[in-house]
Amino acid sequence: MKLRNFLYLNTKIVEDYLSVIDGYVYDEESRAITNSSESGVTGKAGIKVVTGEGIKTAKLDEKVKRSVKISDASKFDKVFTY
């Protein structure tokens, strides 16, 4: 990937080439990122007459949903790479 600065970019031609390469053209896409972690603690205690057991679990879920726009420069780079 090279960083470029365009004074003029014919986006119609770039999108036409992309439609031939991929078979479709889109401007936005959705991305979902999920982070999940789970931890647990188990303990047991007892005396001759009384016994007990405890379990503690914790679960953490984090979900991030993003809608990203595909830039014209990114579209050009894909065509150029192809």
User: CB-based contacts of 75: which residues, under 8 Å, 6+ apart?
Assistant: 11, 14, 15, 18
Burial of 24 (0-12, 13-18, 19+ CB in 10 A): exposed
Tell how far CA 70 is from the center of its chain: 14
Q: For every one of its 82 residues, what pLDDT tens digit does the chain have, with 9 covering 90 and above?
A: 678 888 898 999 999 999 998 888 888 888 888 877 776 666 666 666 666 666 666 677 778 788 888 888 888 988 999 9
The residue among 82, 63, 78 whose CA lies nearest residue 25 is 78
Residue 54 forms part of a structural domain:
yes
User: Which domain does 68 fall in, by range?
Assistant: 11-81
Q: In the chain, how many domains are there?
A: 1
Residue 4 forms part of a structural domain:
no
The SS3 assignment for 10 reads coil
Residue 20 forms part of a structural domain:
yes
User: Considering the entire predicted model, what is its pTM?
Assistant: 0.53
Residue 25 forms part of a structural domain:
yes
